[in-house]
Amino acid sequence: MLGTVTGVAGKLPELLYGQFSTTVMSIDHNVGKVGHSWDDKRHTNYTEWARSQNFTKGDRLIFEFHFGTHNVAEVTREVYQNCDTPPHKSVIQISPAIFTLTTIGFHHYICTKDCKTHKFYVFVADK
């Protein structure tokens, strides 16, 4: 029995490293910039901001905005291109809105109240 306990204790650093290394590699991206970033339409070009970032699976997008001013929804490419309004239940109205990037590929985001100035897409790569 002691051998089993010692064996587990001996592997504990490896187990902990594996746990933390996965967490540490994920990045939180404050959309635009820190502090009510989704509210700022005059100073932030969200398309340029997205191009300046590297997004990988497991990263999180954090949208900060004042309640009632903006919202955010992840939408299809077609909805993004046409600035259509998605179903109300898929729109996040409360800040901070946090999206974890769980799949590889393109992800499109809009504000249904101001889509023309508040929309962008990202490409998510594998780690």
Domains and their CATH numbers in the chain: 26-125 (2.60.40.420)
SS3 of 63, please? strand
Q: Does residue 22 have a pLDDT over 80?
A: no
Rounded Cα–Cα distance for residues 43 and 37 (Å): 10
Chain segment 42-58, per-residue pLDDT in tens:
667 888 889 999 999 99
The verdict on pTM exceeding 0.85 is no
State percent of the chain over pLDDT 90.
49
Number of Cβ within a 10 Å radius of residue 17: 11
pLDDT tens-digit map of 86-102? 777 789 999 999 999 99
